[in-house]
Amino acid sequence: MKSLFMLIYTLVAITLTFLAASAHKRKEGRYTEKLTNVLIWAMIAVLAQGVIVSATNAVMAEIGFSLFFISIDWILVNLLYLICTFTSYEMRYKRIAQIVLRTYLFVDTMFFLTNYFTRLEFNIERITRENQIYFKAFHQNLYTAHLIACYIISALIAFLLIWKIAHVTYLYWDRYIMMLVAFLSVILWDAAYVFLGDIIDYSVMGYAMAGILVYYNIMIYKPKLLIDHMLSNIVNIGRSAVIFFDADDDCVYVNEKAKDLFEIEDNDYGDCGDKIEHILGDTTIDRSLDYYDVICNTMLRGISFHLDVEYHLIEKSGKKLGYFFSIEDRTADIDALNREHYLASHDGLTGLFNRDYFYSKVKEVLDHDPQGEYYLVAADVKDFKLINDVFGTRVGDNVLMAIATAVKEHKHRDTIASRLTGDKFCALARREHFSESTLLQGADAISKIKGVSYPLVLRFGIYYIEDRSLSISSMIDRAFMTISYNRAEFKNRIYYYDNRIREERLLEKKLSGELTEAIVNENIKLYLQPQCTADGSVKGAEALVRWDHPEDGLLLPGRFVPLFERNGLIPVLDRYIWECAAKLLRKWKNEGLLNYYISVNISPTDFFFLDVYDEFHRLIKKYDIDPANLRLEITESIMINDIKRKLTVLEELHKEGFIIEMDDFGSGYSSLNMLKDLPVDAIKIDMGFLYNAGDMDKSKKILRMVVELAKELKMPVICEGVESEFQVEFLNGIGCDYYQGYYFSRPVPIDKFEQHMIQGG
C-alpha cells in the first residue's frame, strides 16, 4: 500500500516538476514566476506527503508534516498572486496586502519549523494499521489559525474567480470556470482529508491534476470561441466582403459585408460560388495561383458596381486547405476618380471637352494619324455678349447648352468637340465626317431655342489642316480668324480659311504697329461729310477718319476701325480725331463761322479706356468752343455693358451742352426703350440698312414710323446714306430734318469741305 502511494506521489511530483520547469522556461512574463512558484510548492507538498507516508520514525514524519503545512501556505499565497494576475485584479492596498501575506508566511513557516520544540501547531502520533506504521498529525490551537488563514486565502481565490466570471462575457467563462473547478476540487478533497481524519492524504493526487489544468489553462489554452469571435470581428471590420471556401469548393463562411453585398439571409451560403462567378463575368481566375487581384465591373440588383476582387489560396504543408475571396466595393472611389477625370477634361456647363483637354486630344489625334485629312471647325454665336446682357446669363447659359446638345447630336462619333471659352466652340473632324449641311442643320436646331426672342446666328470658321507644322493653337486661331473676318453676316454661315485672311491678318498687324507713327506723321486724316437740309444747305458735318497710307494708299475706316476696336487701339485714334475736330471748330470760330457743327464717332471701347467726359470737357476748355458744336455720335452697342457708368458720363456731357446723336438707329438691337433711358438729342437712320433688307414698302413704313416717333419725342432725324433725289423727296415727305449721303457729298478732306460746303468759304 505504502509503496503504491510512494509511486503515485513520485509520479505526481515528477509531473509537477516537469510543469514547473516548462513554465519557467516560458518567456511569458506575467504568469511565469507565480505559476512556477505554485507548481514548485505543489511539488514540495507532494514530496512532503511522500516523506510522511514513508516515515519510519516520528522525526521524519515531523519534518514531512512541517514541510507539507508550510508548502500549503506557500502554494495558496502564490496561487492568490497568480489568480490576481490571471483575473487582472488590481489589489487596492497592494503593499499592505503583500506585507500581511509575507508576514503570515514568515510567521506560520517559523511556527511549523519550530513545532518540534513548541508543539504549538501539531503533535505526531504513531498509528499501526494492517501491520504498517503511519504517522498522523493532531492539530494544536495554532493550527486552527493556520487553517482559518488558509481558508480565507482560498475563499479570496474563489471569490476572485467568481467575481471575474460575473464581469466578463461568456466567451471567457470557460477559462475561469476551469480554474475555479480545479481549485475547488482540490480544496474540497483536501478538506475531506482534514475533516474525515484519513491517515493518508489522497487529495495530494489532485495536485497533479489541478497543476496540469492550471498550467494548460494559463500557458496553452486559447479560448477558441473567443478567437473565432475576434477573427470574425476583424474580418468584419475591414472594408471587404470575405467569402471562405473549403477544399471542396463549399462556402464555409461569409462576413457581414459579403452578406450585404450578396443579400444572403439565414447563413444560406449555397450559391455563393455562383454569385462570385457572376461578379467575375468573363474573368477567369487561375485557381492554382496563390493570389489574384482583378477589378470587375458588374451589375448587382440593377446597380452598377466596381468591385476589387482578390483571390487567396490557403495551403498548409503544400496541401490545399481552401481559399477565400476578398471583395472590396470600389464603386465610390472609381466613380470619384472618373468624375475627377471628367471634371479635369470637360467643361462644367456643356459637358464638352474643355480647352486644355481639347488641345491635347487634337494633338494626339494628329500625331497618331499623320496622313489623315482633318478640318478644324470653329463656331461662335453672333452678338453672344448681347444675348447675355439683354436676356441674362441664365438664358446665355441655356443657349450654350443647346449648342452643346446640337453638337453632340449632329457630330460624328469620332469628331472631338470642345467649348473653349464663352461662346467659342471648336471641333476636329476627319474630312469624310465633315459636312456643311450637318453644321447648318445643327445651327438651325439652335435658332429655335426657347426664351430668346432674338435671332441666334451661328457662324462657322473652317480651317483645313494643311500645314501640320503649325501649333495647335495657331490652327485653332486660323479657324476663329475666319469668323472674325466675316462679321457682318446676319444668317448662319460657313466660312473657309484662305490665304487672303492670312494676308489681312498680317496687314492688321502691320497697321496696328504703325498707328502712332501715322498720327505723328499726320497720315491719319479727318474727312468731313456734310449734313444738310433737303435744299442742300450745309449745317454741319460728320467726322470720318481716313488713313493716307504711304504704301497702301487711302484706307477707309472699314479696314482698320473694327480691328482697332478689337485690339483696343481705337481710343488712340478717336482721341486724335476728336482733337482734330475741336481744333477745326476753334479755327472756324476764329473765322466767325460759329454755326457749323462737327459730329464725332464714339466707339463703345472708348468708354473702357478713356474718361470720355474728361476728354470732351478738356477739349472745349482747351479750344474754347461751344459744346453744342461738337456733337457726339453713339451707337446702340454702347449700351451692351456697364450701362450705368456710361449713362452717367453721357448725362454729364449732355448737361454740359453736348448734343448726343444716336447713330445707326435701327441697325442693331435698339429697343425703343433705349431712347427713353439715354440722353439722346437726335437720331440718325442709315438708309443703307433699310434698303438692304429687301422689301421697300416695309422699309418705307418703318422709316415713317421712326420719324413719327422721333417727332413725338421732339428729336430731329438725320438720314444717312442718302444717295438719290428720290430718297430725299420721300424722306422730306415724311418729315426728315437733315440728310447725309453721297447724293449731297462724299466725305471730303477739310480744305475741300471748307471751300465748297461752307457758305462764304
Residues that bind ligand C2E (CB under 6 A): 529, 543-545, 556-558, 561, 570, 574, 577, 601, 603, 663-664, 688, 720-723, 740-742, 747
Amino acid at 732: N
Binding at 7: pick from ligand C2E, Ca ion, none (beta carbon under 5-8 Å per type): none
| Integer Cα distance of 239 and 331 in angstroms | 12
Q: Where are the beta strands (DSSP E) in 15-150?
A: 122-129, 132-139
Considering beta carbons, is residue 328 or 663 the nearer one to Ca ion? 663
Q: Which of 601, 603, 629, 727 binds Ca ion (CB under 5 A)?
A: 601
Considering beta carbons, is residue 715 or 722 the nearer one to ligand C2E? 722
Query: Nearest 10 degrees: CA dihedral of 466, 470, 474, 476?
Result: 40
Min dist CB 689 to Ca ion, Å, is 9
Q: The C-alpha cell of 624 is what? A: 474754347
The site map against Ca ion for 630-649 (x = CB under 5 A) is ---x----------------
Binding at 291: pick from ligand C2E, Ca ion, none (beta carbon under 5-8 Å per type): none
Min dist CB 562 to Ca ion, Å, is 14
Q: Is residue 396 classed as helix, strand or coil in its secondary structure?
A: helix
Instruction: Specify the DSSP class assigned to residue 9.
Output: H
User: Are the beta carbons of 718 and 740 closer than 8 angstroms?
Assistant: yes
From the list 241-249, 331-339, 627-635, 725-733, the region that binds Ca ion by CB under 5 A is: 627-635
Min dist CB 739 to Ca ion, Å, is 13
Binding at 558: pick from ligand C2E, Ca ion, none (beta carbon under 5-8 Å per type): ligand C2E
Burial class (CB in 10 A: 0-12, 13-18, 19+), 716: middle
- Would you count residue 664 as binding Ca ion (CB under 5 A)? yes
Instruction: Specify the DSSP class assigned to residue 679.
Output: -
Please report the sign of the dihedral spanned by the C-alpha atoms of residue 539, residue 543, residue 546, residue 547: positive
- Interface with Ca ion (CB under 5 A), residue total 5
Considering beta carbons, is residue 153 or 682 the nearer one to Ca ion? 682
Considering beta carbons, is residue 81 or 744 the nearer one to ligand C2E? 744
Binding at 309: pick from Ca ion, ligand C2E, none (beta carbon under 5-8 Å per type): none
Considering beta carbons, is residue 472 or 507 the nearer one to ligand C2E? 507
From the list 131-139, 259-267, 408-416, 601-609, the region that binds Ca ion by CB under 5 A is: 601-609
Min dist CB 347 to Ca ion, Å, is 39
Distance of CA 17 to the CA centre of its chain: 68
Binding at 387: pick from Ca ion, ligand C2E, none (beta carbon under 5-8 Å per type): none
Considering beta carbons, is residue 276 or 570 the nearer one to ligand C2E? 570
Min dist CB 722 to ligand C2E, Å, is 6
Min dist CB 453 to ligand C2E, Å, is 26
Give the closest residue to 559 by CA, choosing from 512, 604, 495. Answer: 512
Residues 679 to 738 in contact with Ca ion, rule: CB under 5 A: 720
Instruction: Specify the DSSP class assigned to residue 233.
Output: H
| Integer Cα distance of 140 and 137 in angstroms | 9
Binding at 574: pick from ligand C2E, Ca ion, none (beta carbon under 5-8 Å per type): ligand C2E
Q: Which of 308, 383, 579, 663 binds Ca ion (CB under 5 A)?
A: 663
| Integer Cα distance of 534 and 537 in angstroms | 8
Min dist CB 498 to ligand C2E, Å, is 24
Amino acid at 208: A
User: Are the beta carbons of 715 and 682 closer than 8 angstroms?
Assistant: yes
Min dist CB 360 to Ca ion, Å, is 46
HEC string of 59-83?
A: HHHHHHHHHHHHHHHHHHHHHHHHH
Ramachandran region, residue 302 (left: φ > 0; alpha: ψ -120 to 50; beta: rest) = left
From the list 72-80, 367-375, 571-579, 658-666, the region that binds Ca ion by CB under 5 A is: 658-666
User: Are the beta carbons of 381 and 423 closer than 8 angstroms?
Assistant: yes
Q: Which helix (H) or strand (E) holds 380?
A: strand 374-381
Considering beta carbons, is residue 423 or 720 the nearer one to ligand C2E? 720
All residues at 6 or more sequence positions from 261 whose CB lies less than 8 Å from its CB, including other chains: 241, 300, 327, 329
Residues that bind Ca ion (CB under 5 A): 601, 633, 663-664, 720
